Structures are given as structure tokens and as C-alpha cells.
């Protein structure tokens, strides 16, 4: 784990001239975009309506309680999107209902890019550049905010990120940032080439790609984030499709008297000081279990067991 007070100062080459300086003042926090301090263990909102896509709906009062409890326990970074809705429950509306008026310091990250029609069970395509302003305005409205803290451009589908140009769409978000509707920009589900393309247009404060501690993929992207002081918030930190049944993780969990989800999360936090965990849950018990993982201290040996594929 990185020592406290480790400065991460980006180099300027091939990136936007505006320098973003990020200082990690203690290992439990990260200064997003250099000025929004968040606890490194946050909450993903995609699972508020239901634990799985198409699965049974969560009880509305229960998930409103999950959000309130999260903030009570120190969560100050919630990841959402306007297209996270199922069974008449929408993540943005639940966040607004549970938490507005928002506590100072609460960072709500959202993402735009995917297109989901009113009757689509999930996003089925991409919004064109011309559709992004409306989607940002929709998030502002649904969350009842004047400015969005962090907006990711999320290109592509579910397969491996491609190198299609994101310049036109990211430039729209950069304009909205200049107008004051967005504080920081991020990119999600991107290749290193796409990250660099975005950085040439405007500062990138965060990357959100699929990643969990047992996957060696994305090492280059993570290194680029460390070099440039960019937060890396992995999606599917718990595997995304059920908690992985992996003997490496089980062995480390047994050594620490912890659960497998806790080791997956503690492993992420131990892997890099720029990683922000955003596990998704609609369960208060799981929320509390996941947050407690921030107190686990894994060793370098634990990490090498987790990272070493059989």
C-alpha cells in the first residue's frame, strides 16, 4: 500500500495543458480531480433497483435505507446513471429521495453515452454527440443538482473496449464542463488510446473500466492513471455476475477471517492508491460488510496470491 502523503503529479506530454495535481493525503481518501476528497470505499447505485438485471425488484424503503446508512457510515462517493432503472425504481430518483438535501462533500458520479429507450430492459446503443447535452441535463434534473461532480463518457457495449474515436463526444462534455454544468470529467470502458485521446481535449479525473483484483487486464491503464493522478473506479469489483468462486480469494479470506467480497474489495484498495471501490448492493448487510473491508490490511503476499492466475 502506498505511504501517506504520496504526491502524484501528472506529466504534461500529449495531454491537455491544464495540469491536475492530485495528492493522496492518506490511504483511505483520494482527491478526485485534485479537489474533491472522497473515501476510497464508495457505493455503486446500479444494484439499487434489483440485485441482478431482470431479477426481482428490491423493496423501495429498504434501498432508501441503504443509501441513508451508506452516508451515515461515511460513504461520500456514489456512482450512478440515469439509465440505471428497473421495475419502476430509478437509481437517480432513489438517491435524490434518500439524500437530498445532500450532505456537503457528497460526490455523485454519473455517466452518459449509452442509449436506453423507454421500453428497453437495458441500454441498446449509443447516444450520438448531439444527445449528450440532454442526457447531462436529465441527470442534473433527476439528481436535483446545479452541477454534476463527475460525468463519465461511457462508449462501447459490453465487449472489450475498442479504439473507436471518442473525441467528438468527449468534446461535448468538455464544453459542458466549460459552461459549469460539470465539475470533472471521466471516461468509462475505454482503451489506453481512448484515454489519451480524451486527455488531449480536457483533464480526465477518473477512469471506470471493468476490473477486479483477480484480473490482470488493464494494468497499463491503471499505470497511466497512477502516473497522471487519475482515479480508477473499477466496475464489477465483485465480479459483477455473482461472487467469484475462486480458491485464491477464499484462501486469503480464511487467513484474515474475512468474507470473499471483503477480500476482493480490500485487494483492490491495496493494489493501487488511485483505486476507488464502488461495490453495488441493495442490501444493508452487504453494504456494511463491504464498507468494513476498508479496514482490512492485505499483505504483498496476499496480493500476489490474488493476482496470480492458476
Residue ranges binding ligand NAP (CB under 6 A): 44-47, 51-52, 79, 111, 154, 188-189, 208, 235-240, 243, 261, 278-283, 286, 289-290
> In this complex, which beta carbon is closest to ligand NAP, that of residue 20 or of residue 50?
50
Q: Which residues fall within 8 angstroms of residue 56, CB to CB, at 6 or more apart?
A: 50
Cβ atoms within 10 Å, residue 94 = 23
| Strand 43-44 relative to strand 36-39, pairing | unpaired
Q: Closest approach of Cβ 111 to ligand NAP, in Å?
A: 6
Q: Closest approach of Cβ 184 to ligand NAP, in Å?
A: 16
> In this complex, which beta carbon is closest to ligand NAP, that of residue 9 or of residue 251?
251
> In this complex, which beta carbon is closest to ligand NAP, that of residue 214 or of residue 290?
290
Q: Where are the alpha helices (DSSP H) in 73-178?
A: 91-99, 132-143, 167-178
Measured distance CA(154)–CA(152) in Å, rounded: 6
Q: Closest approach of Cβ 233 to ligand NAP, in Å?
A: 7
Q: Closest approach of Cβ 55 to ligand NAP, in Å?
A: 8
Length of the chain: 310
> In this complex, which beta carbon is closest to ligand NAP, that of residue 14 or of residue 44?
44
Q: Closest approach of Cβ 12 to ligand NAP, in Å?
A: 28
> In this complex, which beta carbon is closest to ligand NAP, that of residue 15 or of residue 286?
286
Residue nearest to ligand NAP (CB): 280
Measured distance CA(133)–CA(106) in Å, rounded: 23
Contact criterion met (CB below 8 Å) for 95 and 45: yes
> In this complex, which beta carbon is closest to ligand NAP, that of residue 14 or of residue 38?
38
Measured distance CA(282)–CA(29) in Å, rounded: 24
Q: Where are the alpha helices (DSSP H) in the chain?
A: 60-72, 91-99, 132-143, 167-178, 192-199, 219-228, 247-256, 260-271, 284-292, 300-307
C-alpha pair distances (Å), 113 with each of 117, 147, 184, 279: 13, 18, 16, 21
Cite the active site residues.
84
Q: ∠ CA 222-277-38 to the nearest 5 degrees?
A: 100
Measured distance CA(261)–CA(25) in Å, rounded: 26
Amino acid at each position: 500500500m502506498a505511504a501517506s502523503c504520496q504526491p502524484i503529479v501528472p506529466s504534461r506530454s500529449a495531454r491537455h495543458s491544464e495540469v491536475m495535481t492530485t495528492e493522496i493525503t492518506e490511504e483511505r481518501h483520494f482527491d478526485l480531480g485534485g479537489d474533491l476528497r472522497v473515501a476510497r470505499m464508495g457505493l455503486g447505485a446500479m444494484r439499487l433497483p434489483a440485485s441482478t438485471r431482470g431479477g426481482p425488484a428490491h423493496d423501495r424503503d429498504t434501498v432508501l435505507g441503504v443509501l441513508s446508512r451508506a452516508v451515515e457510515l461515511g460513504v461520500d462517493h456514489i456512482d450512478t446513471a440515469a439509465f440505471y432503472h428497473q421495475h419502476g425504481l430509478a437509481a437517480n430518483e432513489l438517491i435524490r429521495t434518500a439524500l437530498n438535501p445532500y450532505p456537503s462533500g457528497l460526490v455523485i458520479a454519473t455517466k452518459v453515452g449509452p442509449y436506453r429507450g423507454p421500453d428497453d430492459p437495458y441500454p441498446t446503443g449509443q447516444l450520438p454527440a448531439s444527445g449528450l447535452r440532454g442526457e447531462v441535463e436529465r441527470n442534473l434534473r433527476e439528481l436535483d443538482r446545479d452541477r454534476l461532480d463527475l460525468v463519465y463518457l461511457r462508449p462501447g457495449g459490453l465487449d472489450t473496449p475498442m479504439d473507436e474515436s471518442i473525441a467528438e463526444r468527449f468534446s461535448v462534455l468538455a464544453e459542458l464542463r466549460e459552461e459549469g454544468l460539470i465539475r470533472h470529467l471521466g471516461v468509462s470502458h475505454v482503451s489506453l488510446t481512448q484515454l489519451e485521446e480524451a486527455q488531449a481535449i480536457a483533464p480526465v479525473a477518473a477512469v471506470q473500466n471493468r476490473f477486479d483484483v483477480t484480473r490482470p487486464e488493464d494494468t497499463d491503464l491503471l499505470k497511466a492513471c497512477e502516473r497522471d493522478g487519475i482515479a480508477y473506479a473499477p466496475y464489477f469489483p465483485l465480479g459483477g455476475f455473482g461472487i467469484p468462486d475462486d480458491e485464491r480469494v477464499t484462501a486469503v479470506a480464511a487467513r484474515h477471517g474475512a468474507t470473499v467480497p471483503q477480500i476482493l474489495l480490500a485487494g483492490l484498495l491495496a493494489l493501487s492508491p488511485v483505486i476507488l471501490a464502488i461495490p453495488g448492493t441493495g442490501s444493508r448487510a452487504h453494504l456494511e460488510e463491504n464498507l468494513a473491508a476498508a479496514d482490512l490490511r492485505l499483505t504483498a503476499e496476499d496480493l500476489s496470491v490474488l493476482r496470480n492466475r492458476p
